[in-house]
Amino acid sequence: MKLKDRVAVITGAGAGIGRATALAFAQAGARVVVADINLEGARETAASIEREGGCALALETDVAQPESVERLVRETLSAFSQVNVLLNNAAIQVNKTVEDTTFEEWNRQLAVNLGGVFLCSKYFIPHLRRTRGVIVNMSSVNGFFVEPFCAGYCATKAGIIGLTKAMAIDHGKDGIRVNCICPGYIDAGLAEGYFQAQPDPAAARAAAGKLHALGRIGRPEEVARTAVFLASDDASFMTGSVVVVDGGFGSGLPPS
């Protein structure tokens, strides 16, 4: 039980990679706060954890809103008295070029994807300092390998890599470790939205698999296991690291 007695807050845990990670954290012994703007999704994740005998609390949270994040902190502490792990996973993806992206879409994507990492870290760091806790940020291979029609998304994921390294430097002295994960294509909501935005979604999905050396896209559980590792003491000398979980993205065959 690598995360026994730890309290972990996971944003965007009402679906996809966040949900798989919440389940993996609970299986590793953590009590999990399932934070999502979609309360129904968060409750489903919490119910799955409880069915397996774990402990979870679903909280409706918009990571782009300071008041909502402050409430998340208050309710986490009121339920569990401490926090050991913050996993900043919530994100949205606007599948457009800069020219086609509206100012409102740009601002919202920036506020959720990068602003959410800032706000949750800002309000949880004072409490993570007490437990010498851990932050894991969900970036993407799109932080350094860009693709067409998701310019703003790529910019936010590159920003998360920079923010991760900066927070690692600032808070190492507090014993807080900060790392990020860069997944390749994973069979979850944002990849599915990207495929659906292409003229032929099935062909786009097949082509995406071929971009990976392993010839397929990944599963949420394959990212979740890395998150458990980074949150655990097994990663005790890792901070400021960019951990790539991408099945060899960019080493695979070019799309046909």
φ, ψ at 229 (rounded to 5°): -60, -50
Binding to ligand NAD by residue 119, rule CB under 6 A?
no
CB nearer to ligand NAD: give 41 or 252: 41
Of 30, 244, 24, which is closest to residue 138 (Cα–Cα)?
A: 244
Binding to ligand NAD by residue 84, rule CB under 6 A?
no
Answer for which of 2, 27, 29, 38 binds ligand NAD (CB under 6 A) is 38
Answer for which of 6, 9, 10, 18 binds ligand NAD (CB under 6 A) is 18
CB nearer to ligand NAD: give 147 or 174: 147
Kindly state the smallest distance separating residue 4's Cβ from ligand NAD, in Å. 26
Catalytic residue among 123, 153, 185, 194: 153
Task: Tell me the two tokens of residue 132.
Answer: 């010498």
Cβ burial, residue 78 (10 Å; 0-12/13-18/19+) = exposed
Interacting span for ligand NAD (CB under 6 A) from 47-55, 86-94, 98-106, 170-178 = 86-94
Binding to ligand NAD by residue 91, rule CB under 6 A?
yes
Binding to ligand NAD by residue 188, rule CB under 6 A?
yes
Interacting span for ligand NAD (CB under 6 A) from 78-86, 89-97, 128-136, 196-204 = 89-97
Kindly state the smallest distance separating residue 62's Cβ from ligand NAD, in Å. 5
Binding to ligand NAD by residue 101, rule CB under 6 A?
no
* Catalytic (active site) residue 194: no
Contacts of 141-146 with C-beta under 8 Å, sequence gap 24+, read: 141/182, 141/183, 141/184, 141/244, 141/246, 141/249, 141/250, 143/182, 143/242, 144/182, 145/249, 145/250
Kindly state the smallest distance separating residue 112's Cβ from ligand NAD, in Å. 4
Residue with tokens 């300092």: 129
Q: Write the DSSP string, 9-34.
A: EEETTTSHHHHHHHHHHHHTT-EEEE
Task: Report the alpha-carbon distance of residue 100 to residue 213 in Å, rounded.
Answer: 32
Task: Report the alpha-carbon distance of residue 73 to residue 255 in Å, rounded.
Answer: 44
Cα atoms found within 13 Å of the Cα of residue 183, Cβ hemisphere only: 25
150, 211 in Cβ contact below 8 A?
Answer: no
Answer for which of 61, 84, 121, 226 binds ligand NAD (CB under 6 A) is 61
Catalytic residues: 153
Q: Which residues are near ligand NAD by CB under 6 A?
A: 11-12, 14-18, 36-38, 41, 61-64, 89-92, 112, 138, 140, 183, 185-186, 188-191
